[in-house]
Amino acid sequence: MPTIRDRRSFTRDLPPLADADADAIERFLDAAWAERGLAQATLSAYRSDLQALARQRPGLLGLERDALFECLAQRARQGYSPRSTARLLSCLHAFYAHAVRVGLRKEDPGALLQPPTLPRLLPKALSEAQVAALLAAPDLASATGVRDRAMLELMYACGLRVSELVGLPGTAVNLRQGVLRVTGKGGRERLVPLGEESRHWLERYLREARPVLLAGVRTPGAVTAMFVNADGGVPSRQAFWAWVKRYAALAGIDPGKISPHGLRHSFATHLLNHGADLRALQLLLGHSSLSTTQIYTLVARDRLRNLHAQHHPRA
């Protein structure tokens, strides 16, 4: 199987992107953003997939089913994961459906292509004791430690995605009412209660740590993000993930048992374990479909065991 380096070399040796393909891709992405409200991360992934395909098979709008099938088969031979291939196929369906809708093609050449079978990946949730240890790991003697504690508390209390957490504007929180306004995938907004602990740490961060972090910034009033670095910039998702891994190590948590969304998954699992309604959990997580939320029922084993012990006549 080719290595990652082999695949990168293969991509690097491909011809440059044709103007017609570049134009078709950008027109599709503009329409996808305007009509479907896709998140920037999804649009970036679609752009990357379509540009890679166009470099291998120039003339995207003229490709037929056999060419797409061979491209997917080639990806499998090169060692791409089924999940990556499924994402590409979803992107192709959207791209050609748009082309048909605007009259650039008569039919979708990928309509009959079936996505690969994907393994069902269960979210990795921490125990309540592990979460408590992780939240207590930051050094509160520093401004960055107070910031990190506030971020961890907020992510766990509100079930935020990493992108939602680092992208929070300062106007998103109403401390008096104890709610957070979150803009999630597709620009969908939701209101999430803060809880006393996360509100305490957020107030402490805003009162004590944020002014210190912005002390060296020439115009601190112009910084609108909730969470900031010492240079006035916004923490990236990658930086926050590195912090979580470091704090997990300090808390004695196996890095293999935590993911970038570990606190979000723990939020959902612990709520179910304590009797939360699945529909309410869907609203808190910002899922557009209840089927997405239902996967947490497979993880919330403690609650299921307790329900069985409480209600089954032979328990």
Give the residue numbers annotated as catalytic, written as ranges. Answer: 161, 185, 261, 264, 287, 296
The closest of 4, 110, 92 to 45, measured between CA atoms, is 92
**179 within 8 A of 191, measured Cβ to Cβ:** yes
Q: What angle do CA 43, 48, 49 make, to 5 degrees?
A: 100
Instruction: Please report, as a single letter, which amino acid is at residue 61.
Output: L
Q: Is 54 exposed, middle or buried (0-12, 13-18, 19+ CB in 10 A)?
A: buried
Sheet containing 189-193: order of strands? 173-174, 179-183, 189-193
Q: Report whether 180 contacts 192 (CB < 8 A).
A: yes
Q: Give the gyration radius of the chain's Cα atoms.
A: 23
